Structure 1
Amino acid sequence: MSPGSPVSRSVVLAGGGTGGHIEPMLALADALLRRDDAVRITCLGTARGLETRLVPARGYDLRLIPPVPLPRRPTVDLLRVPGRVWRSVADTRAVLRELSADVVVGFGGYVALPAYLAARRERVPVVVHEQNALPGLANRIGARLAARVAVTMPGTALRGAEHVGMPLRTAISTLDRAARRAEARAAFGLDADRPTLLVFGGSQGAASLNRAAVGAADRLAAAGVQVLHARGPKNTDVAVAAAAPGSPPYVVVDYLERMDLAYAAADLALCRAGAVTVAELSAVGLPAAFVPLPIGNGEQRRNALPVVEAGGGLLVDDAGLSPAWIGDVVVPLLTDPGALAGYAARAAAAGARDADERLADIVLEVAER
């Protein structure tokens, strides 16, 4: 929407902190603008979150409010939350009044709770989207105040939950892996026709995945499997010897800027099980060996279970991941085209490509009331 243009609706999105909150927020923003370029979209965030970089880069207005860190479980720290919330709610109420907000959409995290409470005080309707199978405190509170509640995982325990899936970037949701495979493999210096393993542990990498994959390099190469491995920008000690002429490439990069091409290049992923990762892989039909983060509240395991139980992936505990496990489990799957195709089809059946549009429908319905 260009400056000075008439505004059809004012939508405020609250999803700062981590990529798991920000990416679905921006995917929804894109979907809303595709529907109506007169929609005014404003994102709420904090000065310490990734949103300070990601939101302006996508062309959206970002307003900063004081963060409200929330404990994952009721603890003594919860008693300190009201004092932190008060100032943030007051600042957020001022933003909602300035913007004449028609609806607030929250994705959980530091920004969402004050946004929900401010919206309640300003009588602005709320829509909640929960990415994980195990909801956080902000969204558990928000669901009690919301006009509509959308969730990524079926069976998520939130009041009034509607299963819509995870809003994804169109570069992912429209990806045709087969059509882009040759281009993608060439972009990463991979051979055109070898079975390909993609290894990544999130934006910062994962030490256990790095150790296991590098330790299995010889067995992977002996089976004719090539590897694209994102080690994380700080893990410069992760390296493998240059492949001998004619051997399968093992390509190590710090970070994958083009996840769409990485997914297109791969036949199987070895990765963590963050909500966005699981949703992206299933949407594009790329099976994975999921290695849930071994700390926290177990949400990553819960995220992966629907895809694994549908037959679209494998699940291994972080403590059980080893070079031997990769050699004994991953290599046989990667070298069995029929089995791999079955896993890919079942992963795709468990995914959702249109969650951004479905969530946009809900948001616009609420805004028009």
Structure 2
Amino acid sequence: MNGSIIIAAGGTGGHISPGVALAEVLSEKANAFGYESVYIHSLVRNQNNPDLLNPPCQVIWHNIPQLGGLKTIVYPFLFLFPFIKTILLFRKLKINAVIGMGGYSSLPAILYAILFRKPLYLCEQNCVPGKITRVFSKFAKKIAFSFPIVDSFQIPGKIIGNPIRKRVIPEHLNIRQNENLHEGKKNTINVLVLGGSQGARQLNQMILKTMENAEIASKYKFRLLTGTNLYDETKQKANDGTEIISYANDMKPNYEWANLVVARSGAGVVAECLVFGLPMILIPYPFAADNHQKANAEYLEKQGAAVTIHSTSDDPTPLVKFLLSWKDHSEVLREMGHISLALSNVNAAYQTVSYFFSDSN
């Protein structure tokens, strides 16, 4: 055996969820690829992340400081002590391969791989590669992309798809939520609104204002996941026709209920919508690093699986326009859903692991 594998998956849920999906596969298949075991390396502040409450393997917690602000000058000193602890622990656990999921929290594991000449593999979730991928791509043995990266970046790798956790994967992949709409068996179109775990006030307010349109209220039913911090204020403003939920640990029933999704365009949410064959209205978070959400949304819009609203306000006008145009033309949603499904890869986790650790790839 070649020791163990560490998956550096900290930071945001967009890094953690696909890392956990890879850990699910490797916890069962590590021996088949010549390794003894697999670990997840994540930040202490992620201990309450839903994906890490019941992880498929042991999680090693660390507390590497975030780079930025006034700490920049003294950062090397703040970084050094926890990094030395990481090295000693990794040596003890016989870590002989590193998978970096992106974000600053993956830096200790990546530097360990480089310093001790261990195989380094990188996963890039977005169409615009993150700084970790851009800086360390030349040290990586292989890089897996979730989506095609924008043309301005020349980074070698393989487009596979964003790894999906087992508990999110549909049980019946042949079920198409929007077939019944096209056949006229369903009068109501279910709209799932996702602002992320922290919520998005812009999306919440936009939906509430959209529902003031009588034509839309008569045709569309909304389920709004507000985010825990924004639940109370949104609930107070909502009318009786809106289903308000703060957060859902189990997203599968919500995706199965939906015919259409309104969401930010983070790679994780987008990938999950794709495997359920869902059309999307994407409202990119304008302050995302390198504006990567904009690039993700534009890729999906170009393919025909989504439409994009570029806005920083809660003005419902563009959303109302889309919904009214589809009110009597649900075949448009059906076709968008087919394209969405065609862009998905429900087996991305296994294929990524196979790509990394099979010599033939």
Please say whether Structure 1 and Structure 2 have the same fold, judged by a TM-score greater than 0.5: yes
**Is 1:171 aligned to 2:164, yes or no?**
no
Letter in 2 for 1:257: N
- Whether the aligned pair in 1 keeps the contact of 2:23 and 2:56 (CA below 8 Å) is no
Equivalent residue, structure 2, for 1:338: 331
- d(CA) in 2 for partners of 1:361 and 1:354? 11
* Residue from 293, 304, 307 that aligns with 1:300: 293
Verify the 8 A CA contact 1:119 1:125 in the aligned structure 2: yes
d(CA) in 2 for partners of 1:335, 1:144: 52
Q: Which of 24, 29, 35 is 2:29 aligned to? A: 35
Using a 3 Å threshold, how does the CA distance of structure 1 residues 100 and 26 change in structure 2: closer, same or farther? same
Judged with a 3 Å threshold, the aligned counterparts in structure 2 of structure 1 residues 292 and 121 are, in CA distance, closer, same or farther, namely: same
Report the Cα distance in structure 2 between the residues aligned to 1:350 and 1:64, rounded to whole angstroms: 34
Q: Is 1:350 aligned with 2:347?
A: no
**Conserved? CA contact 1:231–1:252, under 8 Å:** yes
Displacement over 6 Å in runs of 4+: none
Pairing 1:21–2:21 present = no
CA–CA distance in 1 between the matches of 2:306 and 2:277? 10
What one-letter code is carried by the residue in structure 1 that aligns with 2:52?
V
Hey, what does 1:328 align to over in structure 2?
321
- Using the alignment, how far apart are the partners of 2:147 and 2:15 within structure 1? 15
Task: Give me the whole-angstrom Cα distance separating, in 2, the residues matched to 1:140 and 1:76.
Answer: 24
Residue matched to 1:185: none
1:47 aligns with 2:57: no
Q: Is 1:162 equivalent to 2:155 in the alignment? A: no
Call closer, same or farther: CA 1:65–1:279 in 2, change over 3 Å. same
Q: Does 1:125 align with 2:122?
A: no
Structure 1 residue 138 displacement after superposition:
2.3
Separation in 2 of the partners of 1:90 and 1:222? 58
The alignment's C-alpha RMSD in Å is: 2.9
In the other structure, the counterpart of 1:250 is 242
Residues 196 and 226 of structure 1 are in contact (CA less than 8 Å); yes or no, is this contact kept in structure 2? yes
How far apart are 1:106 and its partner, in Å?
Answer: 0.7
SS in 2 for 1:358: helix
TM-score w.r.t. the length of structure 2 is 0.86
1:92 to 86, 109, 113: 86
Answer yes or no: is 1:229 the counterpart of 2:217.
no
- What's the TM-score once normalised by structure 1's chain length? 0.84
CA displacement at 1:139 relative to structure 2: 2.5
Secondary structure in 2 matching 1:258: coil
Q: Is the 8 A contact 1:96 1:119 kept in 2?
A: no
Distance 1:241 1:143, change over 3 A: closer
Q: Deviations over 1:62-100 (max 9, x none)?
A: 2223314245xxx99765543344334322221221111
CA distance 1:80–1:362, change in 2 (3 Å):
farther
Pairwise mapping of residues 98-109 of structure 1 onto structure 2 (< 5 A)?
Answer: 98-109=92-103
Whether 1:149 and 2:140 are equivalent positions in the alignment is no
User: Residues of 1 paired with 2:358 and 2:130: CA distance?
Assistant: 25
Separation in structure 1 between the aligned mates of residue 254 and residue 272 of structure 2, nearest angstrom: 12
Kindly state the Cα deviation for residue 307 of structure 1 after the two structures are TM-superposed. Answer: 1.1
Cα distance in structure 1, aligned partners of 2:330 and 2:296: 26
2:63 counterpart of 1:69: no
Q: CA deviation at 1:110?
A: 2.6
CA contact (8 A) 2:192 2:222 kept: yes
Gaps of 5+ in 2: 179-184
Match of 2:129 in 1: 135
Q: Helix, strand or coil for the counterpart of 2:41?
A: strand
**Displacement after TM superposition at 1:140 (Å):** 2.2
Q: Is the 8 A contact 1:89 1:117 kept in 2?
A: no
Deviation at 1:203, TM superposition (A): 0.8
* Worse overlay, 88-97 or 144-153: 88-97
Alpha-carbon offset, residue 163 of structure 1: 1.2
> Do the aligned partners of 1:135 and 1:158 also contact (CA within 8 Å) in 2?
no
What is the CA–CA distance in structure 1 between the aligned matches of 2:111 and 2:332, rounded to whole Å? 50
Q: CA deviation at 1:198?
A: 0.9
Give the secondary-structure state (helix, strand or coil) at the position aligned to 2:244.
strand
Q: CA 1:286/1:262 → structure 2, altered by over 3 Å: closer, same or farther?
A: same
Aligned pairs, number: 346
- Structure 1 residue aligned with 2:212: 218
Query: Which residue identity is paired with 1:362?
Result: Y
Counterpart for residue 105 of structure 2: 111
Match for 1:163: what amino acid?
Answer: I
Q: Does the 8 Å CA contact 1:133/1:153 hold for their aligned counterparts?
A: yes
Residue type of the alignment partner of 1:357: Y
Counterpart for residue 188 of structure 1: none
5+ residue gaps, structure 1: 1-6, 183-190, 244-248
Match of 1:186 in 2: none
Q: Percent identity?
A: 24
Q: Which amino acid aligns with 2:62?
A: I
Shift of 1:130: 1.1
Residue of structure 2 equivalent to 1:312: 305
